[in-house]
Structure 1
């Protein structure tokens, strides 16, 4: 099943990141560029680094200049994340381009890649909640609460994985079809963001 394959790669990325546990560490992709695993690994690495950006920026003692720099890194990371989702959807569009779509075929509320995006984030939640469950310095009450939350996350993983695999099966059989819209983010665009537009020198 594709969801199982993707989740395995997400965990590889998360485990590799946490060897150094440093948002500024260098990135190396172990998979060849023409392999879907390459995109999945890169996608989760972006998510993992951003997860830790979000932890750092919530430090109440962070310097304002450092916080602003980090906010810009998070914005750039969000754009990279969106780009990777679109690349993954392009993979599926190409893979299923020859499928004969049934007359009564339906469109899904989200594309396969955006569902896979949620699975990547869920892998991070499970990893970090499991860390909380195994802490030696936490209270019994904290550990019990985290065990309950971890059980819910694992159930969510099961449901989301099933939904992803069902969606891909339906697309492959022509019961559903893909229609992908590019994410037209406006805040990073010099022409679409009025604040950025004002900073541009007149031609």
Structure 2
């Protein structure tokens, strides 16, 4: 009989993300967790930083130099974000192996658990910032009504994805679905694969 898989449930992981977004807007970014939760928090941090860098890139007052600097920061954060998705999936593989869960011959899901956790991270950021918009002192009723509709839709999508991810994890542990880590294999930051980089060195 396989041991229990040491992977937090989805409710714990999504609450970690929700709490961190709120806390990081008031306090310095931290990561007080261990194990897979620490990986999820670190991945969430990259999304948090990305969100605010992308806001800067869209400022109409940003100079070309500022936009170029922000673009480079976004590229690095995106690379780190994708690397962390892989690390989360690798951690799940390790947890399954340690628990003695045999490899499954079941179907493969269209996205990995790490990718779904990334999407939930972005949704928690979207919900926070929509609620921030709803609380703006200068917002009129029309603005608040539009924002509230989007909050309701985002909340439903967050709940749906949370439920689907928990089902996926349950299916993986039970052997009903296979788990794999899919390597992102991004090319744009690799100086040997991006022609705009290696051609410039010639």
- TM above 0.5, one fold? yes
Partners of 2:185 and 2:53 in 1: CA distance: 24
Question: 129-138 vs 110-119, which deviates more?
Answer: 129-138
Partners of 1:132 and 1:114 in 2: CA distance: 27
Alignment correspondent of 2:171: 170
The question of whether the paired residues in 2 share the 8 Å contact of 1:101 and 1:176 is answered with no
Partners of 2:187 and 2:173 in 1: CA distance: 33
Alignment correspondent of 2:4: none
How far 1:27 sits from its partner (Å)?
Answer: 4.3
List structure 1 runs of 4+ shifted beyond 6 angstroms.
Answer: none
In structure 1, the gaps of 5 or more residues are: 21-25
| C-alpha spacing 1:90/1:102, structure 2 compared with 1 (3 Å) | closer
The question of whether the paired residues in 2 share the 8 Å contact of 1:46 and 1:77 is answered with yes
Partners of 1:101 and 1:198 in 2: CA distance: 44
Alignment correspondent of 2:196: 195
The question of whether the paired residues in 2 share the 8 Å contact of 1:85 and 1:114 is answered with yes
In structure 2, the gaps of 5 or more residues are: 1-7
Alignment correspondent of 2:70: 70
Partners of 2:47 and 2:104 in 1: CA distance: 36
- Alpha-carbon RMSD: 1.5
The question of whether the paired residues in 1 share the 8 Å contact of 2:89 and 2:180 is answered with no
Partners of 2:136 and 2:39 in 1: CA distance: 32
Note the 1:8-23 alignment, pairs <5 A.
8-19=15-26
Partners of 1:51 and 1:27 in 2: CA distance: 14
Alignment correspondent of 2:38: 38
Partners of 2:158 and 2:30 in 1: CA distance: 27
Calculate the TM-score normalised by the size of structure 1: 0.90
Does residue 89 of the first structure (1) align with residue 86 of the second (2)? Answer: no
Note the 1:140-155 alignment, pairs <5 A.
140-155=141-156
| C-alpha spacing 1:182/1:63, structure 2 compared with 1 (3 Å) | same
SS at 2:26 equivalent? helix
Partners of 1:159 and 1:45 in 2: CA distance: 23
Alignment correspondent of 2:5: none
Calculate the TM-score normalised by the size of structure 2: 0.90
How far 1:130 sits from its partner (Å)?
Answer: 1.1
SS at 1:200 equivalent? coil
* Count of aligned pairs: 193
Which of the pair has the greater relative contact order for Cα pairs under 8 Å at 6+ separation? Answer: 2
Partners of 1:95 and 1:66 in 2: CA distance: 43
